[in-house]
């Protein structure tokens, strides 16, 4: 049996001239600022903090974020282009470390106040602060609704106790977007707080050793009666689970792009991505 095609197949063109310009810019950044150092940074278990500032200067950190916050607005395919090019360095750890803002900031953008965006988004996009997402705990990671770190309201503060683990950029993060339990058990008792690393009672472990993602500083974070200003609550109390689930959609996309964009192989300087971390 034969088939006769009388019309051309229709497809969607996702990348245009502007996307190509971004791709060339990020490729130059990777070749000039990352590739010469990737082996050294992998062995050291981290990359210099100044790389965030350089990434911000070429526009990498701000891709897809509002212009008024220092970003460069655009559709999701601008971020896809950037992730593809960064991943060409062969280091999942560098890609994850530079990209931790992309899982830490979206809940603030989606549910935060204008004041929170100025305080917690703008400095990160400028490369002056490092942001991380803190969800996973030692007792479980995939079951987000079962997390146990608590935040109890005390006047104008939340008193936070508990811990997080496998947090990407956890060692150097200036702020974390943190899932805490403010209500009863299950998904409907979870809130999101921005917790700054300078908060008394906030402490961080040594870098965790991992099979892959060596250049990503992954850590455990501990809270011992941390008094976090109530104004750092993102959105409504006990509604944080929904923000987390919204956030996971882009996170899964980023991880998928890292997976297929990885050069692979066993040559020096090529490292396989690790597993679930936040």
Q: Is residue 161 classed as helix, strand or coil in its secondary structure?
A: strand
Cβ(56)–Cβ(25) under 8 Å?
Answer: no
Mean pLDDT, rounded, for 172-177: 97
Which CATH number goes with the domain that contains 190?
2.40.110.10
Residue 155, judged by CB atoms within 10 A of its CB (0-12, 13-18, 19+), counts as: exposed
pLDDT band for position 101 (50/70/90)? very high
Q: Is the pLDDT of residue 162 over 80?
A: yes
Q: How confident is the model at residue 264, as a pLDDT?
A: 57
Q: How confident is the model at residue 266, as a pLDDT?
A: 34
pLDDT band for position 12 (50/70/90)? low
Higher pLDDT, 116 or 265: 116
Q: Is the pLDDT of residue 269 over 80?
A: no
Residues 107 and 193 in one domain: no
Range of the domain at 257: 17-127+243-261
Q: Is the pLDDT of residue 19 over 70?
A: yes
Indicate the number of domains in the chain.
Answer: 2
**Distance in angstroms (rounded) separating the CA atoms of residues 125 and 121:** 6
Residues 84 and 112 in one domain: yes
In tens, the pLDDT along 206-218 reads 999 888 889 999 9
Q: How confident is the model at residue 2, as a pLDDT?
A: 53
Q: How far is CA 222 from the centre of its chain?
A: 19
* E-strand stretches of 111-156: 131-134, 150-154
Closest CA to 109 of 95, 121, 126: 121
Mean pLDDT of all residues in the chain?
89
Residue 251 annotated to the active site: yes
In tens, the pLDDT along 20-69 reads 999 999 999 999 999 999 999 999 999 999 999 999 999 999 999 999 99
Residues 219 and 152 in one domain: yes
pTM across the whole model = 0.87
Q: Percentage helix, strand, coil, to 5, in the chain?
A: 40, 20, 40
Mean pLDDT, rounded, for 157-176: 97
Beta bridge partners of 132: 176
* E-strand stretches of 8-66: none
> Does residue 1 lie within any of the structural domains?
no
> Does residue 70 lie within any of the structural domains?
yes
Q: Is residue 257 classed as helix, strand or coil in its secondary structure?
A: helix
Mean pLDDT, rounded, for 117-131: 98
Which CATH number goes with the domain that contains 42?
1.10.540.10
Residues 123 and 21 in one domain: yes
What are the φ/ψ torsions at residue 132 (nearest 5 degrees)? -135, 160
> Does residue 278 lie within any of the structural domains?
no
The tokens describing 113, both together, are: 């106040």
User: pLDDT above 70 covers what percent of the chain?
Assistant: 90
Among candidate residues 68, 196, 251, 267, the one labeled active-site is 251
In tens, the pLDDT along 235-251 reads 999 999 999 998 887 88
């Amino acid at each position: 049996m034969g088939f006769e095609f009388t019309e051309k197949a229709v497809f969607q063109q996702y990348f245009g001239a502007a996307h190509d310009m971004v791709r060339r810019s990020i490729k130059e950044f990777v070749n000039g600022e990352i590739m010469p150092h990737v082996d050294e940074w992998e062995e050291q278990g981290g990359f210099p903090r100044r790389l965030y500032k350089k990434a911000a200067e070429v526009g990498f950190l701000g891709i897809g974020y509002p212009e008024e916050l220092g970003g460069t607005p655009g559709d999701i395919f601008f971020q896809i282009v950037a992730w593809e090019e960064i991943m060409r360095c062969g280091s999942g750890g560098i890609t994850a470390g530079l990209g931790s803002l992309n899982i830490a900031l979206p809940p603030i953008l989606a549910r935060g106040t204008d004041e929170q965006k100025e305080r917690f988004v703008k400095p990160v996009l400028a490369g002056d602060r490092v942001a991380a997402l803190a969800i996973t705990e030692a007792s479980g990671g995939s079951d987000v609704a079962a997390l146990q770190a608590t935040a109890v309201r005390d006047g104008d503060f939340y008193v936070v106790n508990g811990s997080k683990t496998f947090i990407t950029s956890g060692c150097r993060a200036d702020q974390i977007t943190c899932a805490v339990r403010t209500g009863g058990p299950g998904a409907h008792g979870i809130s999101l707080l921005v917790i700054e690393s300078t908060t008394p009672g906030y402490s961080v472990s040594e870098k965790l050793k991992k099979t892959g993602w060596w250049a990503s500083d992954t850590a455990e974070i501990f809270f011992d009666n941390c008094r976090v200003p109530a104004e750092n609550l993102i959105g409504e109390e006990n509604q944080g689970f929904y923000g987390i689930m919204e956030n996971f959609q882009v996170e899964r996309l980023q991880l998928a792009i890292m997976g297929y964009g990885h050069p692979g192989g066993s040559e020096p300087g090529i490292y396989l991505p690790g597993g679930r971390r936040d």
